[in-house]
Amino acid sequence: MLVYAGIDEAGYGPMLGPLCVAGTAFVLEGDLPERGAPNLWSMLSGAVCRRRRDRRHRIAVDDSKKLKGANSSTTVHPLRDLERGVLAFAAAADEDDAVITGPDAVLLDRLGVEVARRPWYDSTTATPVAHEADEIRIAASRVRRALERAGVTCASIRCEALDAGDFNQRVRRTGTKAGVNFEAVSRLVAAIWNRWPDAHPRVVVDRQGGRTHYLDDLQVAFPESRIRIVTESEALCRYELRRGDDPLTISFVRDSERHHLPVALASMTAKYVRELLMIRLNRFFRGHRPELKPTAGYVTDARRYLADIDPVIDQLGLEREELIRVV
């Protein structure tokens, strides 16, 4: 048995909205490659591909930046491809279609997302937002069949969403945004290790900025573990952690979404969760200013947005520290 997991984030740089960090874990049975990671795109090729457009109408799984459409599109919903992949795998992992026919709170709960108790997140959104429910049911059924044929289980899809208030407090404590992100990554790694303590999980994480050394941070995150450096280079940093007799291997890989499906799906999940929460945030402020143009929360446009909602913030007595993130 192989536990093959991936972790990635979305929303590291914005001024508004949450930092979302997601992890996915697959369990593989049967014949496994002697070297290197299994190619889940190949193993699940009956249902899954990388491309947004596929003649066989397979489900696209790739870096979220490639699958998220432009918000300005008037013909295709920007979340179409992200949503199809995330909901199809989430339903396959749960063996339950409840995540398909929302409200979004159902999906967020299944993913382990704790939504900050802030007025701009109080509403819910009917899901799916970019598809008919039956389209997602068909996609989920295809994923389930492909997983079963390949002897693979989509065992876990989890996500953390750190909103501005929590994010700001953690930045003050850790000293950097990178430290906050690494802590979230470490919590997801710990959850995987605790679930499969004796299965030697292999966890792939998208490289954190341009860093090539993670030993000190791993030792802080897992103080009771013995940690061995396997390799450290520009492209790959790999470490073996051992807790008693239970090992875990974690690899920080450049462009990992291109090479590891669990990371690509984690990227999509983090992005989709962030988009759902931004829908709620925009809905709240547009309820007070209907003419307000929505924002994705990134710095330049966030400044425009904040200028537009400044009277609302003052009128409602909202805490800016809870809304505006340290950049």
Tell me what pLDDT residue 323 has: 97
Q: If you compute the radius of gyration of the chain from its CA atoms, what whole number of angstroms results?
A: 20
Q: Encode pLDDT of 36-47 as tens digits.
A: 789 999 999 999
**Burial classification of residue 5, based on how many CB atoms lie within 10 Å of its CB (0-12 exposed, 13-18 middle, 19 or more buried):** buried
Cα gap 217→205, rounded to integer Å: 14
Contact assessment for residue 323 and residue 164, using Cβ atoms and an 8 Å cutoff: yes
Please give the CATH architecture assigned to the domain spanning 2-280.
2-Layer Sandwich (3.30)
* Count of Cβ atoms closer than 10 Å to residue 325 Cβ: 26
Output the DSSP codes for 67-97.
Answer: HSPPTT-SSS-TTHHHHHHHHHHHHHHHT-G
Nearest alpha carbon to residue 294 among 94, 19, 72, 37: 72
**Burial classification of residue 244, based on how many CB atoms lie within 10 Å of its CB (0-12 exposed, 13-18 middle, 19 or more buried):** exposed
Q: Which two tokens stand for residue 2?
A: 């192989």
CA 117 vs. chain centroid, Å, equals 20
- Tell me what the mean pLDDT of segment 244-261 comes to: 95
Q: Quick check: 53 pLDDT over 90?
A: no
Tell me what pLDDT residue 37 has: 86
pTM assigned to the model: 0.96
Cα 279 to Cα 22, 282, 295: the distances in Å are: 19, 5, 9
Cα gap 48→303, rounded to integer Å: 39
Per-residue pLDDT band at 34 (split at 50, 70, 90): low
Cα gap 121→281, rounded to integer Å: 6
Q: Quick check: 31 pLDDT over 70?
A: no
Residues above pLDDT 70, as percent of the chain: 98
Q: Encode pLDDT of 169-207 as tens digits.
A: 999 999 999 999 999 999 999 999 999 999 999 999 998
Query: How is residue 324 annotated by DSSP?
Result: B
Would residue 151 be called left, alpha or beta, if left means φ above 0 and alpha means ψ between -120 and 50 degrees? left
Tell me what pLDDT residue 187 has: 98
Q: Encode pLDDT of 8-23 as tens digits.
A: 999 999 999 999 999 9
Q: Quick check: 32 pLDDT over 70?
A: no
Q: Which long-range contacts (CB under 8 A, 24 or more apart) does 53-58 make?
A: 58/142
Q: Encode pLDDT of 115-144 as tens digits.
A: 999 999 999 999 999 999 999 999 999 999
Per-residue pLDDT band at 209 (split at 50, 70, 90): confident
Q: Quick check: 325 pLDDT over 70?
A: yes
Tell me what pLDDT residue 102 has: 81
